[in-house]
């Protein structure tokens, strides 16, 4: 069986106005560049995961702009809110679709999507009902012999970053989050956005992946916030039967072609 392939886009920061800009970048144009590259160069895509900050202005039309833009991919899409989003308007915009579905099974993998958004706050937090959903879903997955691996998507970085500009904007209740994950050995990865940069590391035996924005990039490992000169991008994830995740971050250069890309796979 061919391993399923997911594409992750994140932090699109769209506006109701198609000409809206974030740090002088037209975010809809940037998203379309990424999507056009995907259409030209990606083969198999089983679904698209959009991990929050879909909108910059929390407007209904921003979500409609996103939905119109990704139609060209002709694949299923799931999304979750970020700190700039309105979950209520996302549900309204996607009425009649599966966009807000919170779990999805493909091959022997369970995909779990969590809402970490807090109204009017930059940081993230998992509400009690979200923690309950996570625990119940992982419990059922753990007792389902057809599900052997789990990947979790959320918006906020689930670890605290020290001595950098992003130290206080991540998931506030990350210790509670990982306390739950430690009980369920099928969890292979937690994949997120929010930081507008690329990360790949292990915590408690779980692979943590952060994906660049489709628009503006933020500098990493700096005390003060700064814009990075790196190009927009997305992440491809191939979910292998044995629990390996073969992943690649793909960025665009000024000619809209593939830059030097990054690939790692990890087998346990």
pLDDT value for 120: 93
Q: What is the pLDDT along the chain (268 residues), one digit of tens a residue?
A: 799 999 999 999 999 999 999 999 999 999 999 999 999 999 999 999 999 999 999 999 999 999 999 999 999 999 999 999 999 999 999 999 999 999 999 999 999 999 999 999 999 999 999 999 999 999 999 999 999 999 999 999 998 766 688 888 999 999 999 999 999 999 999 999 999 999 999 999 999 999 999 999 998 888 888 888 899 999 999 999 999 999 999 999 754 444 433 334 444 3
Contact in structure between 46 and 106 (CB atoms under 8 Å) = yes
Neighbouring CB atoms inside 10 A of 43's CB total 5
Cβ pair 205, 184 in contact under 8 A: no
The position carrying tokens 């879909």 is 54
237 within 8 A of 191, measured Cβ to Cβ? yes
Quote the pLDDT of residue 167: 86
Residue 232 and residue 12: Cα distance in Å, rounded? 10
> Taking a C-beta distance cutoff of 8 angstroms, is the pair 102, 113 a contact?
yes
Domains observed in the chain: 5-266 (3.60.21.10)
């Amino acid at each position: 069986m061919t391993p399923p392939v997911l594409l992750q886009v994140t932090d699109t920061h769209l506006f109701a106005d198609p000409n809206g800009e974030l740090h002088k970048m037209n975010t809809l144009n940037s998203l379309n560049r990424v999507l056009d590259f995907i259409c030209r160069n990606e083969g198999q895509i089983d679904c698209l995961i959009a991990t929050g900050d879909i909108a910059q202005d929390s407007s209904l039309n921003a979500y409609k702009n996103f939905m119109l833009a990704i139609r060209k991919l002709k694949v299923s899409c799931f999304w979750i809110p970020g700190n700039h989003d309105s979950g209520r308007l996302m549900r309204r915009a996607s009425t009649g679709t599966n966009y807000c579905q919170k779990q999805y099974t493909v091959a022997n993998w369970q995909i779990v999507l969590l809402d970490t958004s807090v109204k009017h706050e930059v940081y993230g937090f998992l509400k009690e009902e979200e923690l309950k959903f996570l625990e119940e879903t992982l419990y059922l997955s753990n007792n389902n012999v057809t599900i052997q691996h789990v990947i979790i998507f959320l918006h906020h970085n689930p670890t605290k970053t020290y001595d950098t500009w992003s130290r206080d904007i991540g998931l506030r209740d990350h210790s509670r989050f990982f306390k739950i994950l430690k009980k369920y050995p099928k969890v292979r990865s937690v994949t997120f956005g929010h930081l507008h940069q690329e990360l790949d590391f292990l915590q408690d035996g779980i692979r943590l992946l952060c994906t660049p924005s489709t628009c503006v990039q933020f500098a990493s490992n700096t005390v003060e916030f700064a814009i990075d000169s790196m190009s927009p991008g997305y992440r491809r994830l191939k979910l292998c039967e044995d629990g390996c995740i073969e992943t690649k971050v793909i960025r665009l250069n000024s000619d809209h072609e593939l830059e030097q890309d990054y690939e790692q796979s990890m087998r346990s």
